[in-house]
Structure 1
Amino acid sequence: MTPKHLRQIYFRSIERMIVYGAQIYFPPICKRNKKNTEKVEKLKAIQRNPLSKIAKASYTASNASLNIICNIPPIHLTIERENRLFIILNADGKFVFENKEFGKEEIATKIRSSRIHPAKKRKYDYVKTIGEADYSFYTDGSQQENRCGGTESNLNRNSADSRPRSRRLRCELGGDAHAAESCSAREAAG
């Protein structure tokens, strides 16, 4: 796999597995105490393996350089961002950015619209819009003595005589339903 594919796998699955439940095990504001520092180091160790695969780096590369090479933020910063979003969206928290206060309503619409699957953003109508043809061909698919029996039923809908005309054909072409259908089409055309 290429590093581009590994990066997509990381963002779509591995990072989500690491971040899942971060509101419980990682405090919203990371204070510099021994307990939180140990958690950050464990998270960096967990993140190191996927990043070294993406960067195709040796085992001597540092964690900081792996984050820079892969252009992926450290996992504890991702968790802090997720915690803040969780507080804003679920606990009616407020967020101040450039002296402007944002609440749940201002942020939720932008986040939720980006998480909609692209296939659900557009609706395609699968109504059959093909017009009716002048002729209809039917084959019964019967095989007898290395021949295929084909039934041609053609109805000319544009003419004044709208009664169906049908004929039974015996095709010698090869003994399958496709051969019978092509035989019926040739007979109707010629």
Structure 2
Amino acid sequence: GVLFLDELPEFPRNVLEQLRQPLEDRGVTLARANMTLEFPSAFMLVGALNPCQCGYYGDSTRECRCTGAMIQRYLGKISGPLLDRIDLHIEVPAVPYKELRGQENGLGSNEMRDRVRAAREIQARRGCYNAHLPSRTLRSVCRLDEGGERTLELAVRRMGLSARAHDRILKVARTIADLAGSETIPAKSVAEAVQYRSLDRSYWN
């Protein structure tokens, strides 16, 4: 199922930290007295939060009242180890009225469905969906071309990413490449995956 947490930083930190094990292991371990119980917990976590405490950081029409320290303190309510376990960090700015009323000729639902279905079939033939790839097979499945290797190395070095964040980027880049029908992972797939790590940067992109 899907676990949706609105206003993510407002949850008690100790509650959020309890999500780390099930996100990593897709299971929950309960220790009581002389016994230990394990339960499956393969859920998808979706969290929503404002860009800052007042909600207007980066807004083109309203002024943010937060200082840099306030923004850091607000975002700091979500720990680095928890962020490492979240694959996609996506900024969703307010949509201008013209775009809201306009008709974009983007990818249609049917075409997107077909691409997703094809990508899932590719992953099924490998024996495992990308999100569940174990560390021992990650490098062999997520093969980067020369440009992809350079792009990932640069991102890890400049952003100071952890080993876990590195692996998450690889899995997302592998999925993007699968959607494009690419056997190896090119630089553009890595770059797109890195763009989905906005909370790993200082403030927001």
**Does TM-score exceed 0.5, indicating one fold?**
no
What TM-score, normalized by structure 1, do the two folds share?
A: 0.22
Structure ranking higher in strand proportion = 1
Larger Rg, first or second structure (1 or 2): 1
> Which one scores higher on RCO, CA 8 angstroms, separation ≥ 6?
2
